[in-house]
Amino acid sequence: MSETTTGGSSSSSRASTTIPSTPNMDPTTPTVEDPAPNANNGMSRDEFRQYGKETVDYIVDYLENIQKRRVVPAIEPGYLKDLIPSEAPNAPESFESVMEDFEKLIMPGITHWQHPRFHAYFPAGNSFPSIIADMLSDAIGCVGFSWVSVKAACPAMTELELIMLDWFGKMIGLPAEFLPLTENGKGGGVIQSSASECNFVTLLAARFEIMKELRQRFPFVEEGLLLSKLIAYCSKEAHSSVEKACMIGMVKLRILETDSKFRLRGETLRNAIQEDRNLGLIPFFVSTTLGTTSCCSFDVLSEIGPICKENELWLHVDAAYSGSAFICPEFRPLMNGIEYAMSFNTNPNKWLLINFDCSTMWVRDRFKLTQALVVDPLYLQHSWMDKSIDYRHWGIPLSRRFRSLKLWFVIRMYGIDGLQKYIREHVRLAKKMEAMLRGDAKFEIVNEVIMGLVCFRMKGDDETNQTLLTRLNASGRIHMVPASLGDRFVIRFCVCAENATDKDIEVAYEIISQAAQHVLHDSVKAVIAEEDEEAVALEEMVADLNIQETPDKGLARQNSADAVGQRLERQLSKEEILAQKQHESLAKKRSFLVRMVSDPKCYNPKIVRHLNMANHRKMSQDLYRDRTLMQTISHSQRPNRLSQSPGSAGSAFFDDDDDRVVADVQTGLQTPI
C-alpha cells in the first residue's frame, strides 16, 4: 500500500518485469496437472497463454480502429437466429472458429459505446486498467459474500471494498458520517451492481424503518393496511428505476413537477407532503437526483433536505452520472445539502473509467440498511461476525463479484489528478458543443450545460426534431437519444469517449448541422406544395361566393370577405390540431428502450392515462372551436340566410337555434389507452 503515496515514481524504481511471479508456498509441492493437455477439451494453459495474448491484441486493435465501424448496427430484430445453429455442438470447436464467428456474426450487431461518435445515454466506463482488473477477478473466481476465510468466501474482497469506499467517499467530498472507516461511525459503503439496485435497497431500508415505527404505534392494525398508506416522492425527471423500486416495494409514488430548470424544489415537496397527509397517507421516502438522465439537472438539496429532516423522511440522493465529477472541487457546491441525506449513490462505471458493473453507495446508518435485508442461516454464520462486515446483508444477491479491484486499479493508475483532468476535459468539450449550437440559428439549447450533456433541438415543431434524430441515427455515423423536457422533444448529446477530442466535437456538429439543413430543405418543399393547395382551395371558395352574390352587392362582398377570413382561421386551427396530434403520438412512435431511458413518465400507464385525459379536454376545446368556425362558414354561404336578414351582418352568422357541438368522448385524434 505504500506505493499509493509515491504515484508514478514507484514504477520507475522497479525491475523491468513489473508483474510478479506466482509464489510457491512449498518448493517441493508439484504444480497442478494441466486438465486440458490437448485441444479436444476446452483450452490448455499453453493455449490460454497464446489465445489470451491474441485476444488482448484484438481488444487493442478494436479500440484503436473503432471509428472505422458504424456506431449502431444496421440489422433487424431476430437477425442472429438464422445465423447460429439451433442446437449446441456436441464436439468441441477451435478457438479460431469461435473468434471468426464472433467477428462475422456478433460484431455486426454491436452498438459501439466506445465509439468517438457515440453520444447517447451517458458514458460506459472503460479503460485498460479496469479491463485487466476484471481479468484478474475472473481468474480468481471467488464469491465474496462475507469476510470469513474458512467458509469459501474472501476476506480480501471485503477489506478492499471497505477501503475503496473510504477512498472514493473522501475524493468526492462526502461527510465523514458516511465513510466506512470513520472512527466510532455508523456509516458505511458498499458496491452494488447498478444505481437501480441502490434505489431499491434504500427504499426497502426506509420502508422497514417506518413500518417498524408504525407497528409500535398501531399494534392492532393489519400490516397490509399500514403498508397501503405509505407514499414516496421523486421528481418527474427522476430515473425510471425509482418507479420500479416503488412498484416492487408495493408503495405509492408521487411524481412531482420541477421548476424552469427541471429541478425539484423544496416548496413543491412541502406542499405535496401536506396534501398527502391531509388524505391520510404517510410520507416516508424522497428520492432526489443530482444529474438527471434527461438533462443533467440538479435537485435543490439545500431546500429539500431541511424539509425531509423536519418531516422525518428518508432522503436518498442518486448521483449516478454526475457523482464522479465531485472529485473536482468546483462541482461540489452542487452537493450542498448532502448533510441531510440518509443515503447516496454514484456510478464510477459511468464517468470514472470503470467497466460495468460498479455502483458505489453510502449510508449514514448502516444498521438501518442491514436490518431490512438480513437473513442469517446457520451455514453462513461465522466466528468473526461481531468484528467484520458481511456484505451479503447490504444488498439483494448473496453472490458478489470482486468489483473493488477495478476501482483500486483505476484510481492508482490514473491518480486523482488524472481522473480530474478526464472529467474537466469532457465538460470543456460539452461547452464547446453548446457554443457551436448556440451560434447556429437553426438550433436552441434547452438545458443548463453543467457537466458533459447538451440538450438541444431545432427551432420548429417536435416532428421536425424527431425527423432530424431519425435521420442522424439511421446514418450510422452518430448516435444520440431523445428526451422530453417541458413536453417538448429534445435531443441529448453527451460526451462519452474517454479520449474525445475537439475534432470529434467538430465532426459531430457538422454531421448534425448538415442533417438539419436537409430536414429544413425537405420541409420547405413540403410547405410550398401545401401552400399551393391551400391557395387553390381559397380561390375556388372566393369564386363560389361571387357566384352566390345577392342583389345587395355591398353586403355580399362584406360577407365574402368575412367568410374568407373565417376560412383562413379555420385552416390555422386545423394545422394546430394536426400538430398536436403528431406531438401526442410521439411517445408511441419511439422505441420502448428510448422511452425508458429518456422519459420515465411515458410508459407509466397511470400517468399516460392522466395526460391523455388532459389532452382530450384540450382537443375538445379545439374541436369545439373548429366546428363552430365550420358552421359559421357554412351558414355564410347559404343565400337564404343572407336574404333573411339583409340589414344585419351579425344575423348572417348566428341564429338562436345554432347547434354547438362539444366532443364528450375520445376522438380519432387520440387513441385511448
Long-range pairs, 653-657, Cβ under 8 A, ≥24: 653/562
Amino acid identity of residue 302, one-letter, is: S
H helix intervals, 314-461? 348-351, 366-370, 404-438
Determine the pLDDT at residue 667. 32
Q: Buried b vs exposed e over 133-170: b needs ≥16 C-beta within 10 Å?
A: bbeebeeeeebbbbbbeeeebbeebbebbbbbbbbbbe
For the chain, report the end-to-end CA distance as a whole number of angstroms.
Answer: 60
Q: How far is CA 40 from CA 54, 90, 132, 354, 440, in A?
A: 20, 12, 28, 36, 63
Between the alpha carbon of residue 272 and those of residues 206, 283, 318, the distances in Å are 19, 9, 21
CB atoms within 10 A of CB 458: 24
Residue 184's pLDDT is 86
User: Quick one: cell of 456?
Assistant: 438541444
What pLDDT shows up at residue 76?
87
pLDDT in the model for residue 151: 43
pLDDT at 642: 36
Residue written as grid cell 448516435: 479
**Series of mean pLDDT values for 10-residue runs along the chain (673 residues):** 40 48 58 58 88 94 92 89 91 92 93 92 92 90 56 73 94 94 88 89 92 90 91 93 91 93 95 94 95 94 96 95 96 96 94 92 89 60 55 74 91 96 96 95 94 94 92 91 92 94 95 92 57 48 47 47 48 58 51 40 42 52 61 53 38 39 35 31
* Structural domains in the chain, sorted by start: 139-414 (3.40.640.10), 416-520 (3.90.1150.10)
Rg (CA), the chain: 32
Contacts of 59 (CB under 8 A, 6+ apart): 131
Give me the residue label for grid cell 417506518: 210
C-alpha cell at 320: 449516478
Cell of 187: 456509516
Quote the pLDDT of residue 62: 94
